[in-house]
Amino acid sequence: MTKKMRGNVLLLLAAFIWGLSFVAQSEGMKYIGPFAFIGIRSMLAGVSLAVFLAIRSLVSGKKKQAKEVQEKSRDAKEKRKTLLAGGICCGLVLFVATMLQQVGILHTNEPGKAGFITALYLILVPIAGIFFRKKIGIKVWIAVVLAVCGMYLLCITEGFRIATGDLYLLGCAVVFTVHILVIDHFSPKTDGVAMSCIQFLVCGVIAMTGMFLTEKVELSHILSAWLPLVFSGVFSGGVAYTLQIVAQKDTEPTIATLLMSLESVFAVLGEWLILGQFLTAREFGGCALMFVGIILSQLPERMEKNSAAN
């Protein structure tokens, strides 16, 4: 297997894990509240990434020590400050986004729909470029029209009303857009995996504080939700993120984005195969339009970068 093919397979596996995580979130909410689920899940993700960082440090320990000796102490302090600032900022935004997502899933009880609405951030990120004076291609605007039509079929009821859960999920997509922009700001300046570890721990601490203040949680309830918690925490947060980091080194940006967008499709398949639920023809049509829009929105910028590189 070539490196490129291996990278594609790993990204597909990551998308598969992220898609099934929507089902895990839906099932976990049957036993515990949103603060508890987010708190425990995030702490598990943070710990799993910390373990990965420790193993990575042991493997490359000698090289790292030699590099640290050469670095000036002032530069090392600045890097630690940037890492900490990035982790805290990302953690705060991540908490808001995941809280909106968790409450949205609680209200809709449809993981597949939640996956597609959340994936709207892939369209919103290019649109956000307007505020940074970036040109928006015609394909992005076509993608917006397709997404709006898809949202109408997926969310708007016969009385021309959008459900409360769908509004939460739409807000989640908007905040995840901010999350991507914050990551883009800090990631070139620091270690992405270490920053992600910190962001999960920050998110977990905030959520668990809310859990102790607003929710009555019993150990038996947490134990009943152990499988959804472990899957969405360790596998979705730790394993899948690590797979993404490793795989993107050997995969073209366009292909990587398209493969990762498949998480919304896997969310629908997981809802069908695991929960025995399936979307109506109207909802399925909305998902199809949104999926086409999501893919289309990724093509202009990626194609421009590739052509510039050539």
Question: How far is Cα 87 from Cα 185, in angstroms, rounded to an integer?
Answer: 12
Per-range mean pLDDT, top range of 43-52, 73-82, 233-242, 259-268? 43-52
- pLDDT of 36 strictly over 90: yes
Instruction: Give the pLDDT score at 63.
Output: 53
Collect contacts of 247-252 with beta carbons under 8 A, ≥24 apart. Answer: 247/6, 247/7, 247/8, 247/10, 247/11, 247/14, 248/7, 248/11, 249/7, 250/3, 250/4, 250/6, 250/7, 251/4, 251/7, 251/8, 251/11, 252/4, 252/306
Residue, of 73 and 17, whose pLDDT is higher = 17
Which residue's entry shows tokens 């194609």? 303
Mean pLDDT, all residues of the chain: 83
- pLDDT of 9 strictly over 60: yes
- pLDDT of 59 strictly over 50: yes
Question: How far is Cα 132 from Cα 110, in angstroms, rounded to an integer?
Answer: 35
Question: How far is Cα 41 from Cα 18, in angstroms, rounded to an integer?
Answer: 13
Question: How far is Cα 269 from Cα 23, in angstroms, rounded to an integer?
Answer: 10
Lowest mean pLDDT among 47-61, 174-188, 241-255: 241-255
DSSP single-letter state for residue 136: -
Lowest mean pLDDT among 48-52, 131-135, 161-165: 131-135
Q: Which runs of consecutive H residues, i.e. helices, occur in the chain?
A: 3-28, 34-59, 61-70, 73-108, 111-118, 121-128, 138-155, 164-186, 192-214, 219-224, 226-230, 240-247, 253-260, 263-275, 281-309
Confidence of residue 310 (pLDDT cuts 50, 70, 90): very low
How far apart, in Å, are the Cα atoms of 109 and each of 15, 94, 278, 301?
A: 21, 21, 12, 35
Over residues 77-105, the mean pLDDT reads 92
Instruction: Give the pLDDT score at 308.
Output: 39
- pLDDT of 160 strictly over 60: yes
Query: Which residues, listed in sequence order, are joined to residue 156 by a DSSP beta bridge?
Result: 162
Residue, of 277 and 73, whose pLDDT is higher = 277
Instruction: Give the pLDDT score at 48.
Output: 92
At residue 4's C-alpha, the angle toward residues 124 and 139, to 5°, is 25
Instruction: Give the pLDDT score at 61.
Output: 65
Residue length of the chain: 310
Residue, of 42 and 67, whose pLDDT is higher = 42
